[in-house]
């Protein structure tokens, strides 16, 4: 008769403890940095022209958001003043 335990009710498969096995290749700090360098060489880095163009896009969007938030704040200030004091 097969023995069924409470920890493993399904049968003969080992129970998963949740820990991941450590790969056998390149362990330690030196191996870690070697892998980082190898992966960074695979990255498709943008050109200087692309980087400058995308930075300008970010700055323009930030400026537009700043303007929108400032205008909403001013409109809210005017609205509160109209409600509380009766004057803008």
For the cut 70, the answer to whether the pLDDT of residue 14 exceeds it is: no
* The pLDDT of residue 61: 98
Least confident of 9-23, 46-60, 71-85: 9-23
CA distances to 25, 36, 40 from 29, in Å: 12, 11, 16
**Domain residue ranges of the chain, discontinuous segments joined by +:** 47-88
Task: List % helix, strand, coil for the chain (3-state, nearest 5).
Answer: 60, 0, 40
Q: What average pLDDT does range 79-84 have in this prediction?
A: 92
Percent of the chain whose pLDDT exceeds 90: 53
User: Model pTM greater than 0.85?
Assistant: no
């Amino acid at each position: 008769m097969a023995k069924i335990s409470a920890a493993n009710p399904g049968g003969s498969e080992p129970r998963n403890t949740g820990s991941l096995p450590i790969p056998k290749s390149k362990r330690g700090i030196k191996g870690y940095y070697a892998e980082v360098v190898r992966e960074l060489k695979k990255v498709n880095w943008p050109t200087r022209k692309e980087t400058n163009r995308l930075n300008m896009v970010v700055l323009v969007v930030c400026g537009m958001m700043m303007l929108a938030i400032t205008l909403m704040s001013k409109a809210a200030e005017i609205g509160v003043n109209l409600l509380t004091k009766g004057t803008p």
